[in-house]
Every structure is written in structure tokens, then in C-alpha cells.
Chains A and B, each alone.
Chain A
Amino acid sequence: MSVRTDVVSLFEQVAAQQKKKLAPLLDELVLLDSGLDSLCLAIIVARLEDTLGVDPFTAAQDADFPVTLGEFIRFYDDAVR
């Protein structure tokens, strides 16, 4: 569960810093509808690399970015495992 906690708190932190209004963080939430733009998502990926020590996007073979929050969290869950 700690990956989820880290991800959720970073979404909240970055939204506050970048003055964005965050949608409720449900698993089905489409990231592009979360209220955060792609730069915010990049900040989250950079900070997660610091906290979790992984960057699944560089490690991944293809260039697909997860679509929903649930997929995003699973992506990191799989990477830290």
C-alpha cells in the first residue's frame, strides 16, 4: 500500500504547488482529467524516482504512458516489486 500512499500524496503536493484543482483520486480517474497537466506528471515521475528509487518509464520497452491513476499506481507497484 505504500506506493499508493506515496503516489497520492505527491499528486496532492504537486497540485498544491502548481496551483491546480485536483479531481477526486479514484483508480478509474483518467490522468489527463485529473487537473494536472503533463509537466505536473513529469514532476511526479521525477520525485517518485527519488522516493521509490525507480523510474518504470525509462525501464519500459515501449513509450506508453498509463491512462488512469489505477494503471499508474500498478506500474510503480510492479516496478518496486
Chain B
Amino acid sequence: MRNVVVTGGSRGLGLGIARKLTAAGYRVIAIARKESNQLTSAMEEAERDGPGLLHFVPFDLAEIGEIRRLVTTLRKDFGPIYGLVNNAAIAFDGVLAIMHNSQIEHLVRVNTLSPIVLTKYIVRSMMADGGGRIVNVASVVGFTGYSGLSVYAATKASMLGFTRSLAREVGRLGVTVNSVAPGFVDTAMTQNLDAEQRQQIERRSALRRLPDVDDVANAVEFILSDKAKSITGTVITVDAGNTA
């Protein structure tokens, strides 16, 4: 069974991705700080119905210095890692001019530094094993502007740049690297949006609605599948046409 690590797999998009991949027959290792009730039931469901498996490994991805040990443990406990989905991220909105430096630093640490370092160690194991798939969850905010999200946007744009150059670096080894850029999806991260803002986003989207968690999970599943073997260094936007 192919192992796929999904960071932030306990809730929201990450949980949706973890469920989808489990249903497609992967062994998914979800990483987050806390196990959520939804994740617990998804793990029970997978155990009962298969075809894949879902495991939870608690870890705080802000602890950059511990990431290497995490990867060593994952490889020891689960074997070779076929896929990595860098999905965990945090979002605070706020006007840059009054945002606390510690908040700026924390956003960059969790959303940019941590996935880069995690990828470093997992790509090494993919190198040793002869191939793999990396999917970085970016955001449409990485290429369009939203007032109040400048720092978050910087971290999401960083994933797009990271994707393209790393794809060139590791392509020879049979490792593909791609991004998925969701538009606004209903999760804990977007609960601050009020009804009016949501309607405005819907109105401005070609399909007159928001994408849902499943739409994003489908894109990730496709990139991990053998069907996507010739796709690397690019981005799949799943935003119901919001940025079209």
C-alpha cells in the first residue's frame, strides 16, 4: 500500500483529502497537533471499510528542529513514503502596519518554513526510494490580491515558487511536485467570512458558487495517481472560476 503523508489532515481540507485518499486505497498518515473527533471517526471508518488505511501522528509543525526526527520515525513505522501533501497552514488576517512581528513570524514559520523543511527530509527518502509525489496546497490568494491577507498571501505564493523550482530539481529522480490552489472553501479557516462576503465571492465566480472540500480533494487525488505521471511543476486552481 502506498504511504501518503497529509499535514493538517485532522480537519477541513486536509481531512477531506485524507478521506479521499483512504477511499482510493492509500495508507494515509495525517499529521496535526490534535486528533479531532471527525478524524477519529474517519479512522474507524477506514479500518472497517477500507480499502485504504488512515493513521494519525500528533506533531506540531512549528517545531522545525524536530521535523527530521518526525520523518525518521515515519519511515521506520510505515516504510517508504510515496506522497507528501503539504496542506497544514494557519491564517490570520490583519492590516500589515499593525500586525505583531511575532504573528508575522509564526505565519511564515508554519506556512512556509515548515513545509519546506518537511519536504527536504521527505524528498530525501523519496530519493533513496526512487520516486514520489509532492503536492503543495497554495491558495488563489497566492496570485490575486485580498486586503488584510498580505502575509498569508506571501506564504501561499511562496509555495507556488517552491513548487516550480523543486520540480526541476527532482524531476530526474521520478519525483513530481505540483500545487493545488483552492479558492474560498467553507472550513474553520474561513469562518470569519460573513454571509455577505461569501455571496460576493460566489457572485464573482464563473460557476456562481464556492468549490467544496471534495473538489479540492479530487484534484489532490488526481495528482497522486498514475494518471498524472507527466504533470509536474504546475498548479491546479480549484476555485469555481473565481479568478478566471
Q: Which residues of A contact B (CB under 8 A)?
A: 18, 39, 42-43, 45-47, 49-50, 58
Contacts of B172 in A (CB 8 A): 18, 39
Residues of B within 8 A of A (CB): 68, 124-125, 127-128, 169-170, 172-173
- CB–CB A42/B128 < 8 A: no
B242 CB to closest chain A CB (Å) equals: 38
Contacts of A50 in B (CB 8 A): 128
- What 6 pairs across the A-B complex have the smallest Cβ distances? A46-B124, A46-B128, A46-B127, A43-B127, A47-B128, A50-B128
Contact, CB under 8 Å: A43 / B128: yes
B68 near A58 with CB under 8 A, answer yes
Q: Contact at B124–A39, with CB atoms within 8 Å?
A: no
| A39, B166: Cα distance in complex, Å | 12
List, in ascending order, chain A residues with CB within 8 A of B127's CB: 42-43, 46-47
Chain A residue numbers with a CB within 8 Å of B124 are: 42, 45-46, 49
A/B interface sample: 21 pairs, CB < 8 A: A18-B172, A39-B169, A39-B170, A39-B172, A39-B173, A42-B124, A42-B127, A43-B127, A43-B128, A43-B173, A45-B124, A46-B124, A46-B125, A46-B127, A46-B128, A47-B127, A47-B128, A49-B124, A49-B128, A50-B128, A58-B68
